[in-house]
Chains A and B, each alone.
Chain A
């Protein structure tokens, strides 16, 4: 069981170009900002958005390949979808919502209802069979949507922002429950989200999508330790730089340079954690360090830390204690000395 995806599709002016492969049993979390093309990718996989080029292969069956004129319509793909807002049919009972898939795929009404009841029972929803979707809570509706998608016994399960419709108080418990249920599903799971915590919690692998393209993919640990885009760096909360390394000096693309320790020559990414950035009023003395001047553009206090955004060569975000801010007498517009130890800079090939 595997999924092979080379998607090229267009929605108006928006161009989607995404390629990845996934083995059975894996949960792929597609993470990206709004408008990155996450939902379009999901619609393309489901067959609701035709490909311009590329191909989709699921379990050795070609679902779509425009070059060869192949296109299996959505209703004949072994794919289940949990939509954003769940889209439960408001005119049908919970049981009939879940029975809709089996019924559409050829079962008799009574057999489809029996199948639906099994799934409702499995997801602990057997009390709700006669209810109408508008009377369900967010968490219940999500589970019914999951039961409806699973009742067709798909090989690939697509979930579009499954938590977005829930309020914050139920999100954690529903997420735990969803993860448990997804673990029992033996096909491939693809989850689309704009919430990094959700992506890390649910995904075996992250696919970072931005402007219709994959910026990075890998395990959550790998992606967070080696961000390759401003988007991921901001999510993780680190300073990301791109440049060219030679003899342990990285010349940055956006100006400035950094002295690092133990980097291979070539195109690299460099990250600096804000907590390792030190600030001084006067030029600091001592061991070889990266020392440069910057102007405090913005101070943002949160909990026990103050984030200071500094404009300079390069610009950087520092995280210092409120006591340090007071001691420095630091305010917006002030110019300070910035220093970072070479050993605190993490460098990896671009």
Chain B
């Protein structure tokens, strides 16, 4: 076989001598891998086994549960909407406009992904709390109080979840073929119209994925919410908070609520499987 043909084969990915057939793993690796898998599966199995299926429906439709569910949906969807309105422009700037300090601004925007959520909650309190930098001013000039309100819960969720949207949309913007935007401009579209009619539709898959990811994160938010917004049924007690509280007083209810959140997460994972799982 000539060299060029060997190279062709490698490129086309057909079975050349560099491709490997499946290999039986060493025993040690197999055992540790099995342990790792069990570590993920056993808790989920426990949840399923301990679910009081008989009274599940009753527990799910209890008034307190429904209140928490309704609040959770409202807060997380609002947080996602805010994240899209503010996060897409941010992603666009990060992907398209170099400016001094962009790296720093970007790092700070992404920070909540790795920041302990409680720290995020404390930071929000220090900024928007009654004694906070902006909070006192908001309170005295406009009579707006954010901490320990539903608006506060939404803010806490947005703070923690928006980075997921920003980085997903930014990656989409970087990957798209920008010559489509050039084509639109030569056809007479100004920058704003190019953004609406070409850029946004072309990054729609990234926007949907980022939005869903952001929503799932907002729905599960606990630390920042309880720190900044507290735990008041009906106004700030979202599902994760209700689960935590119910664990003491109503363990069966906690299990059912957990199962519901698990179902949502699984739904997200299945919905986005093409993006993450081959």
| A326 touches B (CB below 8 Å) | no
Cβ 8 A contact of A73, one of B185, B187, B198, B202? B185
In whole angstroms, how far apart are the Cα atoms of A81 and B193 in the complex? 18
Cβ 8 A contact of B185, one of A75, A89, A91, A148? A75
| B95 touches A (CB below 8 Å) | no
Among residues 176 to 212 in chain B, which have CB atoms less than 8 Å away from a CB atom of chain A? 177, 179-180, 182-190, 193, 197-198, 201-202, 204
**B179 and A100 within 8 A (CB):** no
Q: Distance in Å from the Cβ of A141 to the closest Cβ of chain B? A: 13
**B183 and A83 within 8 A (CB):** yes
Contacts A87-B179, A89-B180: A74 and B197 contacting too (C-beta < 8 A)?
Answer: no
| A104 touches B (CB below 8 Å) | yes
Contacts A83-B179, A83-B183: A104 and B202 contacting too (C-beta < 8 A)?
Answer: no
**B187 and A48 within 8 A (CB):** no
In whole angstroms, how far apart are the Cα atoms of A101 and B184 in the complex? 8
**B186 and A79 within 8 A (CB):** yes
Q: Distance in Å from the Cβ of A165 to the closest Cβ of chain B? A: 13
Number of interface residues of B (CB under 8 A): 18
Contact with B along A149-164 (1 / 0, CB 8 A): 1001000000000000
Residue of B177, B185, B187 ringed by the most chain A CB atoms within 10 A = B187
**A100 and B186 within 8 A (CB):** no
Determine the residue in chain A with the shortest Cβ distance to B198: A89
| A68 touches B (CB below 8 Å) | no
- Which A residues are CB-close (under 8 A) to B193? 104
Contact with B along A331-344 (1 / 0, CB 8 A): 00000000000000
**A75 and B189 within 8 A (CB):** yes
Residue of A47, A79, A80, A91 ringed by the most chain B CB atoms within 10 A = A91
**B183 and A81 within 8 A (CB):** yes
In whole angstroms, how far apart are the Cα atoms of A86 and B123 in the complex? 50
- Which A residues are CB-close (under 8 A) to B177? 87
**Known pairs A74-B186, A83-B179, A152-B188. 4 more at Cβ < 8 A?**
A46-B186, A89-B183, A100-B184, A104-B190
Residues of A within 8 A of B (CB): 43, 46-48, 73-77, 79-81, 83, 87, 89-91, 100-101, 104-105, 148-149, 152
A sample of 7 cross-chain residue pairs with beta-carbon separation below 8 angstroms, ordered by A number, consists of: A46-B186, A48-B182, A48-B186, A74-B185, A74-B186, A100-B197, A104-B184
